[in-house]
Amino acid sequence: MKDNSSGEQKLLEHLKKLFELYKESKLKEALKYSNKLELDFSKDLNIPYFHNLKGLINLGLRDWEESLNNFNQAIEIDKNFEPSHFNKGIANYDLGNLDNAYHNFLKVLDIRKENQKAKDDLIKILGLINIKKEKQDNFSIVNNLLLQSKYKIDMKKKISNKNIIDFFNYNKRIVKKYITDFSFRENQLFIRNGVDLSCERHHKIFKEHKVIPKFCFTCFKVVIHLNEVLDLIKLYLIFDSSELIKNFEKKCRIDYDNNKYRGYIYCSNIAEVYEAEKIISQNIKLNIGKKLKIETKRGCSEFSKKFPEYKKIPKDDQNTFSYKDDWKKIENEMDHKLFKNGKIIKRNAKRSLSGLSLSDFLVLNNWINYSKTINDQSTKNIKI
């Protein structure tokens, strides 16, 4: 009888090496190695794990179409192979095929309903698209009801705390009819403008080389400081309803390190940042009725910790922290490492839907629950 144990052991060692290359982000090397394995072990690689791993490598290189082929190969071998259904959702999301991505994540939940990541990603998609009626499930049904919510807040005058409590409770009653589990591992609320800024790429370059990418020198932001969670929700409503800032990427979040609340408007040049600052100042005065601290800065705070002068918005060409010429070579080398053709490949990003989505509501719910753990007077004595 022929002993196949040595051959199986050798294959396992190769697969382990392939995984290590992937884990170390040596994606091009990993892809080359996987192609060689397919030639050397063609009869032994009819296993979903290998095709799923190759799909992850192509996904990392942003070759989404090829990664989908790999994930489909894994599913052909095992129709309930959960990782590949999940990874198909990621690939379709990056391609902008959001309806397909949504149903990929639904399939994952059919296989294992406890997969919280699939549930979270599915809910996040509902902030970007409406699911067709014939394909609706409880998540998409309640999302559509929230987006069409009849409870309106008059944005032409000051928003009271009672307005916010009534708004939240009204929508909570809608959600509870369809969903009992409010768990959602997101605490930041994005209002997206449909532009992929390739922030992952920029942060990876900075993390590995302490180099600020050239693109980030044209990234500016308005930062709004708030001290109460209900004011943060008011700011979210301003962000969602204001036509004057609809083309800006916006974000509301909790600064957990300092128990503070923050809003951000992202801009692509100095003129935009001052325009956005003026508009939001007027809205805050009208809708919140408080004098809040508003800052204008350049780029991400991580960069400023290493280069403090970077965050300052330049008023002239003198004494301005600028991009260093030798950083370009590092960026090119990283792009060659990160992308198949050495050039930045962007996701097909989509614009956020207007109105309160299910993902928005669940983030608001997380904020309010958190506010009760700290000394936030706006919700301390209010039953929500």
Distance CA 204, CA 206 (A): 5
**HEC readout, the chain:** CCCCHHHHHHHHHHHHHHHHHHHCCCHHHHHHHHHHHHHHCCCCCCCHHHHHHHHHHHHHCCCHHHHHHHHHHHHHHCCCCHHHHHHHHHHHHHHCCHHHHHHHHHHHHHHCCCCHHHHHHHHHHCCCCCCCHHHCCHHHHHHHHHHCCCCCCCCCCCCCHHHHHHHHHHHHHHHHCCCCCCCCCCCCEEECECCCCCHHHHHHHHHHHCCCCHHHHHCEEEEEEECCHHHHHHHHHHHHHCHHHCCCEEEEEEECCCCEEEEEEEECCHHHHHHHHHHHHHHHHHHHCCCCEEEEEECCHHHHHHCHHHHCCCCCCCCCCCCCCCHHHHHHHHHHHHCCCCCCCCCCCCECCCCCCHHHHHHHHHHHHHHCCCCCHHHHCCCC
Distance CA 201, CA 331 (A): 10
Counting beta carbons within 10 angstroms of the beta carbon of residue 344, is it exposed (0 to 12), middle (13 to 18) or buried (19 or more)?
middle
Distance CA 196, CA 277 (A): 23
Average pLDDT over residues 364-381: 87
Check residue 45 and give its pLDDT.
92
Phi-psi region for residue 198, left (φ > 0), alpha (ψ -120 to 50) or beta? left
pTM of the predicted structure, to 2 decimals:
0.92
Sequence-separated contacts (24+) of 77-81 with Cβ below 8 Å: 77/46, 77/47, 77/48, 77/51, 78/48, 80/111, 81/48, 81/52
What pLDDT digit, counting tens, does each position of 290-339 carry?
A: 999 999 999 998 999 999 999 988 776 555 788 999 999 999 999 999 99
Q: How confident is the model at residue 377 (pLDDT cuts 50, 70, 90)?
A: confident
Is the CB of residue 227 less than 8 Å from the CB of residue 371? no
First-to-final CA distance of the chain = 71
Check residue 5 and give its pLDDT.
66
Give whole-number Cα distances, 274 to 179, 197, 264, 294, in Å. Answer: 42, 20, 13, 11
Check residue 314 and give its pLDDT.
78
Question: Which fold would CATH assign to domain 5-125?
Answer: 1.25.40
Average pLDDT over residues 36-50: 92
Q: φ, ψ for residue 105 (rounded to 5)?
A: -70, -35
Domain ranges across the chain: 5-125, 221-323+351-371
Single-letter amino acid code for the residue at 347: R
Residue 208 has pLDDT above 80, yes or no: yes
Residue 113 has pLDDT above 90, yes or no: yes
Among residues 118, 154, 147, 117, the alpha carbon closest in space to that of 131 is found at 147
Check residue 1 and give its pLDDT.
38
The tokens describing 345, both together, are 């490949």
Distance CA 362, CA 346 (A): 28
Distance CA 119, CA 104 (A): 11
Average pLDDT over residues 10-19: 94
Average pLDDT over residues 143-156: 91
What pLDDT digit, counting tens, does each position of 57-74 carry?
A: 999 999 999 999 999 999
Distance CA 315, CA 322 (A): 13
Residue 228 has pLDDT above 80, yes or no: yes
The share of the chain scoring above pLDDT 90, in percent, equals 84
